[in-house]
Structure 1
Amino acid sequence: MEANIKQVSAVLNPPAPHMVGDGFRVHNFFPKGYKLKMSPFFLLDYNSKIQFSARNEPRGVGVHPHRGFETVTIAYHGAVAHQDSAGNSGIIKPGDVQWMTAASGILHKERHEEAFSKKGGPFQMVQLWVNLPAKDKMSKPKYQALCHGSIARHQLENEAGVIEVIAGEYMGTKGSASTFTPIEVYNLRLNKNGKASFSFPSDYNTAFVVIEGEIKVNDAVLAKTDQLVHFKNEGEEIQVEAIQDSVILVLSGAPIHEPIAQYGPFLMNKPEEIQQAIADYNQGKFGYLEE
């Protein structure tokens, strides 16, 4: 067993925050904050818990394009209203997940939901950029709205807590989202002293984000609220114990072994594909979305 443990490579504090628009104060754990090996996850923006004051005009981000990847937004506190040029719109509230496949190109905007904005309150979110393999980058955009009540759940033994399987599969419980490559995304909600174990292939890139609480990993490593636990690409088994009631975002996935060309909101394989994306955007090929 010892030899097969997936060892922790680092416990990382959140990098200094920056604003995305005027509604999201995020810590970019990667790729800018830390140079982590996390493919197929290209970016992790973590909006740690912050109080927003009441405001009539909702804060947020105006119309912007995406191509070549998926955005996954996971809500913990607060509410976000979004809309895209493919005609999708909705509101995500605590526990909900918005899984948007930009692929060949989409325009998107996201702002604090109106009722939340007028009332104000705690706000906490995670946004991931999930890379797509070259063969799927120009596929048709799609949208998956995963409301908290519909997300697949695995109850842990001994009242330890619950695992919400957003994508992938945990002990026979299949995730709610469809993905293009093998990805595991879970919300692990552990009660104090509760334990959970995971097994991911050694080559999968794996990290935990402690959304709330404090945990002990592999009986040895402590991590607290807002820290990211990054794992080595060796061994498979991970044990987690909650020192106090905790919420942990679990990420693991098979790396995509392809070159990456990134410019702003475009994530492609070659520089010429970036140039094409900019040209297509300027020519209005991403559709129309009112500001």
Structure 2
Amino acid sequence: MKKKISFSGKGNSTSVGGAPINRFLPSWQAKAVGPFILLDQAGPIKVVGKKTGGTGPHPHRGIATLTYSIKGEVEHFDSLGNRSLVSSGGVQWMNSGNGIVHDERSGASGEFSQKEIYAFQFWINLPSKIKEEKPEYLPLQAKDIPEKQLAEDAGSIRVLVGDYQELTSKIPTYTEQFLFHIKINPGKKFSMDFPQKIEVATVLPTDSAIINTESFNAGELVAFDKEAGEVEIENLSDLAIDILLFGGENYTEPIVSQGPFVMNSEAGIALAYKDFNEGKYGEIDYSSKR
């Protein structure tokens, strides 16, 4: 039995660090899908010039950030001394834990006459006990992302978070969650069954598709009910299409968010600001080497 579609919709246009983005989550229809509480899409856009912008140094607490660079480069700096450049197909993952300052920049390390930026950022809510632990950081290049071809030449799947068949991502998880990048060849289908109470959504970043027999356009997020069932995605076009499929178990603890902090109470938010203002998250040393 196919899962019922609970809602669909376009993202909201906004900007981060002066760069235009399309924000799918949160929205008036949903504050989260499983533990995923924010989803931004940047590009695909061509950028002309030597360097492109970044977010600038800013704090986080209580979430994990995951930046997936489909095309282009993303450079990460943080107050723990981490610095890394991830190229097309790679992921920057950071558990902000009990507080960290970081900065992400596109093309910050080199000079580019022209390049394309196409990336997604997710915020993943952390269980309360993990919010109290020290931050962690993990960069993954494209070769580090588990990937396989689908049966019957249907396409391919990349496992960014979680598990799919024999593939397991290196990204740490603290609850049941998954994030897949699926490419579906012309005239082919992909389907997957989900158990009860697992929240599921798919994003059509640049292509239209048939999802559970209904037509959806490029730029839409499609979310499903919490009943057990199948999600089927069909490509009726003449070109391969890209899909992001993500979700997980419902986050059951209280959520209080303000700016870059996502905690479980107003007191937790107040403490996050207090610790940041007292300098407990540290500062970024941009002179450090990768």
Normalising by the residue count of structure 2, what TM-score does the alignment of the two structures yield? 0.92
Which residue is equivalent to 1:271? 266
1:45 and 2:40 correspond:
yes
Q: Is the alpha carbon distance of 1:116 and 1:189 closer, same or farther for their aligned partners in structure 2, counting shifts above 3 Å?
A: farther
1:35 and 2:30 correspond:
yes
Q: Which amino acid aligns with 1:230?
A: A
* C-alpha distance after superposition, 1:24-72 (max 9, x if no partner): 3212212146434413111111223222221x35311111000001001
* Maintained 8 Å contact 1:59/1:117: no
Which residue is equivalent to 1:285? 280
How far apart are 1:159 and its partner, in Å? 1.1
Which residue is equivalent to 1:26? 21
User: Given the alignment, which residue of 215, 221, 239 partners 1:222?
Assistant: 215
Q: Determine helix, strand or coil for the equivalent of 1:108.
A: strand
How far apart are 1:104 and its partner, in Å? 0.9
1:66 and 2:60 correspond:
yes
The sequence identity of aligned pairs, in percent, is 32
* Maintained 8 Å contact 2:34/2:247: no
Which residue is equivalent to 1:196? 190
* Maintained 8 Å contact 1:213/1:243: no
Distance in 2 between residues matched to 1:43 and 1:127, nearest whole Å:
8
How far apart are 1:188 and its partner, in Å? 0.5
1:94 and 2:88 correspond:
yes
* Maintained 8 Å contact 1:211/1:246: no
Q: Is the alpha carbon distance of 1:33 and 1:18 closer, same or farther for their aligned partners in structure 2, counting shifts above 3 Å?
A: farther
* Maintained 8 Å contact 1:74/1:97: yes
Distance in 1 between residues matched to 2:202 and 2:222, nearest whole Å:
5
Distance in 1 between residues matched to 2:119 and 2:11, nearest whole Å:
14
Distance in 1 between residues matched to 2:140 and 2:155, nearest whole Å:
21
* Maintained 8 Å contact 1:101/1:141: yes
* Maintained 8 Å contact 2:38/2:123: yes
User: Given the alignment, which residue of 250, 259, 265 partners 1:255?
Assistant: 250
User: Given the alignment, which residue of 100, 103, 109 partners 1:106?
Assistant: 100
How far apart are 1:109 and its partner, in Å? 0.5
How far apart are 1:170 and its partner, in Å? 1.2
Which residue is equivalent to 1:175? 169
Q: Is the alpha carbon distance of 1:37 and 1:18 closer, same or farther for their aligned partners in structure 2, counting shifts above 3 Å?
A: closer
How far apart are 1:162 and its partner, in Å? 1.0
* Maintained 8 Å contact 1:37/1:205: no
1:12 and 2:6 correspond:
no
* C-alpha distance after superposition, 1:267-290 (max 9, x if no partner): 000101111111100111001114
RMSD of the TM alignment (CA)?
Answer: 1.8
How far apart are 1:171 and its partner, in Å? 2.0
Which residue is equivalent to 1:144? 138
* Maintained 8 Å contact 2:7/2:29: no
> Where do 5+ consecutive residues of structure 1 fail to align?
none
What is the aligned residue count?
284
* Maintained 8 Å contact 1:188/1:250: yes
Distance in 2 between residues matched to 1:10 and 1:50, nearest whole Å:
28
Which residue is equivalent to 1:232? 225
* C-alpha distance after superposition, 1:234-275 (max 9, x if no partner): 232111112231111110111110111111100000101111
Q: Is the alpha carbon distance of 1:37 and 1:130 closer, same or farther for their aligned partners in structure 2, counting shifts above 3 Å?
A: closer
How far apart are 1:122 and its partner, in Å? 2.4
